[in-house]
Amino acid sequence: MDHRRQIQDFLSSRRARISPESVGLPVAGRKRRVPGLRREEVASLAGVSVDYYVRLERGALIAASDTVIEAIARALHLDAVERAHLFDLARAGRRPSSARPRRATPATVAAPVQAVLDALVGAPALVRNPILDVITMNDLGRALYSELHSDPDRPANLARFTFLDPRARNFWVDWDQVADDFVGHLQAAAGTDPDDPALTQLIGELSTRSEQFRRMWARHDVRAHPRGVKRVRHPAVGVLDLRYEVMQLSAEPGLTFVAYTTEPGTPSHDNLSLLAAWTATQQRDAELSDTVKTHPHRRERRTGMRE
């Protein structure tokens, strides 16, 4: 990914969505060929020269002071997530890629994290990395995302499933919103770590194989939702309205813990309880099968007692 092009596309897309009237600018004069603010209007609102702003939008943002970046964020009416993304874009480009220290995201989780996951027997939970690879899940999480895990590619990836697996449109009740959120998440990840080869590979694959992804990616929207609701249509138990909570794992840099719950007394809660009961039964059957395979004489004794 071309980092300067990322800066240019993000800034131009943000000013394109703002009308002059909304920021108190006169609209009389020559006809506008494109929607939104002109560069000179952004420059005026930010208190910088037109030439300087043009250079910033073409990639010189990496040399701008925090004060200037903040002024541009105000001029473009950026929200908190967009503002953070703008600062990430500037900071990520201030050193050449060869000089940027990269800390690899863990491919597994520490035993205490897995223990917490497994202890949540009534709540689906997972750990994912910045590019939406699923690192691990608890048993109920695997049951919830059974469609995701039926794909043999590993690690399972939420964005790849959403855009490339035909079953995703049925699984996600609000597919458009989920897809838009995932693209916005990847845009934010690209601003934070533009040199991540796994992210570059994923974006290239999705852009090549999905027209919807290309269209959403071109909007340059960024998203960050630490909590919210996702609606899924599970093939075994039906629709689930799941409240989710996203937590960063401070001891596992780059990894995120996501847990899902339902509102007590709702059909979703009943459906999730049914899925949990089914999962527990499957787990007990699997453990019994393993025991019989390891100690066949125990099955013989149990059979003799029944007879």
CB 126 within 8 A of CB 145: yes
299: pLDDT strictly greater than 80 = no
d(CA 260, CA 234): 14
Q: Are residues 52 and 121 in the same domain?
A: no
303: pLDDT strictly greater than 60 = no
Global confidence as pTM: 0.86
Per-residue pLDDT, 95: 61
Q: Are residues 31 and 157 in the same domain?
A: no
Max avg pLDDT among 53-62, 264-273, 295-304: 264-273
Q: How many domains does the chain have?
A: 2
Q: Are residues 120 and 209 in the same domain?
A: yes
pLDDT > 90: what percent of the chain? 69
What tens digit of pLDDT does each residue of 243-295 get? Answer: 999 999 988 888 999 999 999 999 999 999 999 998 888 777 666 666 656 65
142: pLDDT strictly greater than 80 = yes
Using only C-alpha atoms, what is the Rg of the chain? 24
Higher pLDDT, 193 or 270: 270
Per-residue pLDDT, 306: 42
Strand pairing of 125-128 and 256-261? antiparallel
Last residue of one domain, picked from the residues 75, 99, 123? 99
Last residue of one domain, picked from the residues 99, 131, 149? 99
Last residue of one domain, picked from the residues 99, 127, 142? 99
CB 229 within 8 A of CB 241: yes
Report residue 23's pLDDT band, with 50, 70 and 90 as the boundaries. confident
Mean pLDDT, range 104-124, rounded to an integer: 89
Report residue 112's pLDDT band, with 50, 70 and 90 as the boundaries. very high
Q: Are residues 36 and 152 in the same domain?
A: no
What tens digit of pLDDT does each residue of 220-242 get? Answer: 999 988 999 999 999 999 999 99
Residue 300 lies in a domain: no
Q: Are residues 59 and 123 in the same domain?
A: no
Residue 246 lies in a domain: yes
Per-residue pLDDT, 296: 61
Q: Are residues 186 and 265 in the same domain?
A: yes
Q: Are residues 262 and 217 in the same domain?
A: yes
Per-residue pLDDT, 304: 47
Mean pLDDT, range 87-116, rounded to an integer: 77
Q: Are residues 80 and 178 in the same domain?
A: no
Only one residue has tokens 């919807």, namely 212
Q: How many CB atoms lie within 10 A of CB 166?
A: 6
Half-sphere exposure of 154 (CA within 13 A, CB side): 7
Report residue 113's pLDDT band, with 50, 70 and 90 as the boundaries. very high
- Could you tell me how many residues make up the chain? 307
Mean pLDDT, range 177-201, rounded to an integer: 94
Per-residue pLDDT, 302: 46
Q: Are residues 86 and 141 in the same domain?
A: no
Per-residue pLDDT, 30: 60
CB 12 within 8 A of CB 38: no
Burial of 297 (C-beta count, 10 Å sphere; 0-12/13-18/19+): exposed
Report residue 307's pLDDT band, with 50, 70 and 90 as the boundaries. very low
Distance of CA 185 to the CA centre of its chain: 4
Per-residue pLDDT, 235: 93
CB 151 within 8 A of CB 161: yes
Mean pLDDT, range 8-31, rounded to an integer: 83
Mean pLDDT, range 156-163, rounded to an integer: 96
> What's the one-letter identity of residue 28?
A
Per-residue pLDDT, 97: 57
The domain of 164 spans: 111-284
Report residue 150's pLDDT band, with 50, 70 and 90 as the boundaries. confident
Between the CA of residue 33 and those of 30, 82, 114, what are the distances in Å? 9, 26, 56
> What's the one-letter identity of residue 288?
L
DSSP state of 235: T
